[in-house]
Amino acid sequence: MSAEASYYVPEQSKMPILMAAAMGLAAFGAGRWMITGDSLMCILGVVAIATMMYFWFTTVIDENLRGLPSAQLKRSYVWGISWFIFSEVMFFAGFFGALFYLRNIAMPWLGGDGVGVHNPELLWNGFEAEWPLLHTPDQALNGENAKFVGAHESLSYPGLSGLLHWLPLYNTVILLFSSYTVHLAHHALKHGDNRKKFNFWLGFTVVLGLIFLCLQVMEYREAYGHYGITLTSGIYGTTFFMLTGFHGFHVAMGTLMLAIQLLRSFKGQFTADDHFGFEMSSWYWHFVDVVWVMLFFFVYII
Amino acid sequence: MAHGPAKGVTRWLFTTNHKDIGTLYLWFSFAMFILGGFFAMVIRAELFEPGMQLVRPEFFNQMTTMHGLVMVFGAIMPSFVGLANWMIPMMIGAPDMALPRMNNLSFWILPPAFLMLASTLFMEAGAPNFGWTFYAPLSTTYAPETVNYFIFAVHIMGASSIMGSINIVATVLNMRAPGMTMMKMPLFVWTWLITAFLLIAVMPVLAGAVTMMLMDINFGTAFFEAAGGGDPVLFQHIFWFFGHPEVYIIILPAFGVISEIIPTFSRKPLFGYASMVYATSAIAFLSFIVWAHHMFLVGMPVSGELYFMYATMLIAVPTGVKVFNWVSTMFRGAISYETPMLFAIAFVILFTLGGFTGLMLAIAPSDIQYHDTYFVVAHFHYVMVAGAVFSMSAAVYYWLPKWTGRMYNEAMGKLHFWISFIGFNITFFPQHFLGLGGMPRRYADYALQFADWNMVSSIGAFIYGASQILFLYNVIATIVAGKKVSEPKTWDGANGLEWSLPTPPPYHTFTTPPDASVIEENSTVAH
């Protein structure tokens, strides 16, 4: 019997349907939360999802330790996670697309570009299109009564003199460096099975991830408290928080994934040629890193 | 792994078997087809005569919205996923889908999602009423509060589609039997591979679109609010960036089904196999760069209109290749007209008609006349119903004997076909006239001059609706008491690995991959 012939097809499993129930609970709870303000059902659902993920991943790890997956099944996992990351890329692409459209097409039109197609004087008299958008069309028209109040200041590139006080630059350095440290960890494991070095660099990466998240929280506090950048400050605040927010969420997930790999390494679960959980988490980490570079460029610099 | 299915209901709840999950998908989609069909009957009953008779206009809007959502996301898409689950492992000689537990999950999150969506009908605020395309600001500023349930339901459906697609891609790329090279795969497998790619690429964008809605509605962001610098037109761009590939997601697996059935009943291999693969890929590629042809009236610059017009018309080229190949396959074939073949031939004719009206709509200056009229409704029902649903009916008749080991009633199948075919055309052909005459879509009432054709259309819809009961009866009667068949090939002209298996196939098939000689003997590709 060849390796191809012994593909591991699991027996019946209770996990998927419990997970489906958890997801249904979370989704219905989320809808209810938005309408009634009561978040309990949603939180229960999310906790149930996290619990099911724990059991599911534990099962898969256990199966791997028992040697059930063939090389072919492992290739299925590789395809699975690769296409999952591709779907994440497309999710961010949607939000980047929104940013480009709002900045380069919608806003100039609101400001009077393309006269003959639109007539801004009738709609948003006095609005001037300028990025970052700090003075919304709403303010131009309604002044004090505006619902969308722009920020006092943006977080964009402050020029050479302010460079050292510019938080995003630090975040960029940290995240780029963390991509390198996770690579060093991988290298230590793959070439020479140096567990000590692997744990060190992986732990280092997790710490960098946590520092990034802390700085991100600081930046948000700064944005809300001092800069007046909020979710309701028009498209600048909207795109800023949605893009960096979803990215930050992905960093949090990536950090958690890497931290779990570190715990698994302490349990001695990886070998030089079998460490897919770690490898997958590191791909995810690199993906998160690339998204940040895009963010740094399109949200902060230009 | 050698043993058969578990007993009782746990077989369906906990299953990891691709055939069981395929069956679940197929029945679920049929239930949704009935539900969405019921909504359609309400619509046509109200439009039977001018004036308001049965429902209030607000409820009419809920019906058009729910009809579209349920049919697209609940009936058509899951039905083809069910078919993929049943057929792809058997067609490529794989023991199961690549990730069997995730396969179960991607099915079982669908019922909660649709339960949630349907439950909004019974809520005080009413169901979503902004059309299945849920344009902002109708779906944000002016939406009922139940839009929140709609948003999370779409998230769940998206998760289901993405997981299902990842599974299909992993299966096709990784699980083929040795010797089953890419260019030997049956066309149904090819079309699904490309469909799965499209799904993974655009479902996250849809998730992004509904997330933006959620934020605008509940958290004060300004994506679609001009006052904050946003733009409702942005919603349309994002939606159609998803929505245009979505229509190919629906129709490509149907192309695959037709490409299996026509060669069987023409007793000739598919004409131009390789060109079919390339045409499918070309359609998938083009589907990403034509989305704004749905938006010719939003005030795009002329250069944009021209670009999207010409790019859209390009799609006619690979689609034409396909129609040419199907017709050439039939040319000088020893054709017999069993029910699947009847549906397949009707598909080719009616889908082509829908394609031609699509070309008319693609011409920007003409679209100003047709936009948002019943002409559009007629156009997309020619491709959705006579395209996707007819091919699904064809697929069920074609593979049902293989799945169940029982033969359906041929006379009743043909009756179902003819009533469907006639009912469908009575319903939707007059809608072309209504649209050209200027009747707008999604209205609960209409001007008197549209009365006659609306009545004709409604009568056709009732006929088409009733014919589906016949279909349901025929399928159940086959499963329960159909004449037993046991030869591997139900159809003498059939090719493909699934026909090398016993009828009905054992619970687990190809636990060891088939020999290269078996693959060669049963190949669907001309030698």
**Quick check: B200 and A87 CB within 8 A?**
yes
Among A72, A83, A133, beta carbon nearest to B169: A83
Token reading at B171:
């299966």
Q: Which chain A residue has the Cα nearest residue B168?
A: A80
- Residue A117 in this model has a pLDDT that exceeds 60: no
Q: What span, in angstroms and rounded, lies between the C-alpha atoms of B413 and B408?
A: 7
Token reading at B414:
């043909």
Q: What span, in angstroms and rounded, lies between the C-alpha atoms of B458 and B42?
A: 10
- Indicate the average pLDDT of chain B: 96
**Quick check: A238 and B170 CB within 8 A?**
no
- Say if CB B90 and CB B501 are below 8 A apart: yes
- In chain A, what residues touch B96 (CB-CB under 8 Å)? 7, 9
Q: What span, in angstroms and rounded, lies between the C-alpha atoms of A86 and A94?
A: 13
- In chain B, what residues touch A147 (CB-CB under 8 Å)? 220, 227-228
- Say if CB B25 and CB B77 are below 8 A apart: no
What class is the A13-68 domain? mainly alpha
The set of catalytic residues of B is 67, 96, 132, 160-161, 244, 246, 248, 259, 293-294, 319, 322, 441
- Burial class for B235, CB neighbours closer than 10 Å (0-12, 13-18, 19+): buried
Q: What span, in angstroms and rounded, lies between the C-alpha atoms of A145 and A284?
A: 45
Among B211, B221, B229, beta carbon nearest to A137: B229
Among A7, A106, A231, beta carbon nearest to B230: A106
**Quick check: A12 and B102 CB within 8 A?**
no
**Quick check: B153 and A27 CB within 8 A?**
yes
CA distance B435 to chain A (A): 27
Among A9, A76, A238, beta carbon nearest to B170: A76
Q: What span, in angstroms and rounded, lies between the C-alpha atoms of B327 and B344?
A: 11
Least confident of A118-132, A202-216, B177-191, B347-361: A118-132
**Quick check: A24 and B116 CB within 8 A?**
yes
List chain A domain ranges: 13-68, 73-97+156-301
Token reading at A237:
């605040």
Q: Name the one residue in this structure whose structure tokens are 């493909």.
A: B496
- In chain A, what residues touch B156 (CB-CB under 8 Å)? 23-24, 27
Residue B392 lies in a domain: no
- Cα B105 to Cα A17, A87, B101, B164, B206: the distances in Å are 6, 18, 6, 9, 20
Q: What DSSP string runs through B292-333? A: GGG-TTS---HHHHHHHHHHHHHTHHHHHHHHHHHHHHHTT-
Residue A80 Cα to chain centre, angstroms: 19
- Cα B333 to Cα A296, B10, B21, B143, B265: the distances in Å are 62, 47, 36, 55, 8
CA distance A195 to chain B (A): 31
- pLDDT at position A110, please? 87
- Interface-testing mutation among A145, A148, A287, with chain B (most B C-beta atoms within 10 A): A148
Q: What span, in angstroms and rounded, lies between the C-alpha atoms of A38 and A44?
A: 12
Residue B460 lies in a domain: no
What range does the domain containing B255 cover?
19-346+403-411+486-521
Tell me what the mean pLDDT of segment A205-231 comes to: 95
- Say if CB B436 and CB B364 are below 8 A apart: no
Among B10, B96, B146, beta carbon nearest to A9: B96
- pLDDT at position B2, please? 53
Among B159, B229, B508, beta carbon nearest to A133: B229
- In chain B, what residues touch A98 (CB-CB under 8 Å)? 208, 212, 223, 234, 238
- pLDDT at position A266, please? 95
Among A4, A14, A31, beta carbon nearest to B152: A31
Q: How many residue contacts between A and B have a Cβ separation below 8 Å?
A: 238
- pLDDT at position A115, please? 61
Residue B431 lies in a domain: no
- In chain A, what residues touch B112 (CB-CB under 8 Å)? 20-21, 23-24, 27-28
- Residue A3 in this model has a pLDDT that exceeds 60: no
- In chain B, what residues touch A41 (CB-CB under 8 Å)? none
- In chain A, what residues touch B507 (CB-CB under 8 Å)? none
* Residue A118 phi, psi (nearest 5): -120, 160
Helix (H) or strand (E) holding B385: none
- Residue A2 in this model has a pLDDT that exceeds 90: no
- pLDDT at position A109, please? 87
- Say if CB A201 and CB A185 are below 8 A apart: yes
Residue B56 lies in a domain: yes
- B153-186 exposure pattern, b = at least 16 Cβ within 10 A, e = fewer: bbbbbbbbbbbbbbbbbbbbebbbbebbeeebbb
pTM, two decimal places: 0.96
Packing angle, helices B110-119 and B18-46, rounded to 10 = 20
CA distance B236 to chain A (A): 11
- Residue A6 in this model has a pLDDT that exceeds 90: no
* Residue B155 phi, psi (nearest 5): -60, -45
**Quick check: B112 and A23 CB within 8 A?**
yes
Q: Which chain B residue has the Cα nearest residue A234?
A: B228
**Quick check: A136 and B229 CB within 8 A?**
yes
CATH number of A73-97+156-301: 1.20.120.80
Helix (H) or strand (E) holding A223: none
Q: Which chain B residue has the Cα nearest residue A129?
A: B229
* Residue B132 phi, psi (nearest 5): -70, -15
CA distance B71 to chain A (A): 21
Helix (H) or strand (E) holding B406: strand B406-407
User: Helix, strand or coil for residue B136?
Assistant: coil
Task: Please count the structural domains in chain B.
Answer: 1
User: Helix, strand or coil for residue B207?
Assistant: helix
CA distance A158 to chain B (A): 23
Residue B383 lies in a domain: no
Residue B129 lies in a domain: yes
- The 10 Å Cβ neighbour count of residue B405 is 17
* Residue B86 phi, psi (nearest 5): -65, -50
- pLDDT at position A118, please? 55
Token reading at B295:
């938006």
- In chain B, what residues touch A247 (CB-CB under 8 Å)? none
- Say if CB B384 and CB B36 are below 8 A apart: no
- Cα B401 to Cα B489, B498, B502: the distances in Å are 9, 12, 11
**Quick check: A148 and B222 CB within 8 A?**
yes
- The one-letter code for the residue type at A51 is T
- List, in sequence order, the alpha helices (H) in B121-186: 147-174
- pLDDT at position B100, please? 96
- In chain B, what residues touch A88 (CB-CB under 8 Å)? 204
- In chain A, what residues touch B221 (CB-CB under 8 Å)? 231-232, 237-238, 241-242
- The one-letter code for the residue type at B23 is T
Angle in degrees, CA B20, B23, B24, rounded to 5: 90
Token reading at B125:
């605020």
Q: Which residues of chain B have pLDDT under 50?
A: 1
Least confident of A49-53, A125-129, B155-159, B322-326: A125-129
- Interface-testing mutation among A2, A76, A105, with chain B (most B C-beta atoms within 10 A): A76
**Quick check: B223 and A101 CB within 8 A?**
no
CA distance A69 to chain B (A): 11
**Quick check: A16 and B175 CB within 8 A?**
no
- Interface-testing mutation among A25, A34, A57, with chain B (most B C-beta atoms within 10 A): A34
Peptide bond into A120 cis (omega under 30): no
For residue B320, give the CATH number of its domain.
Answer: 1.20.210.10
- The per-residue pLDDT for range A241-289, each reduced to its tens digit, is 999 999 999 999 999 999 999 999 999 999 998 899 999 999 999 999 9
- pLDDT at position A4, please? 45
Among A27, A98, A148, beta carbon nearest to B152: A27
- pLDDT at position A119, please? 59
Q: Which residues contact B218 (CB under 8 A, 6 or more apart)?
A: A34, B148
The residues that bridge with A272 in the sheet, in sequence order, are none
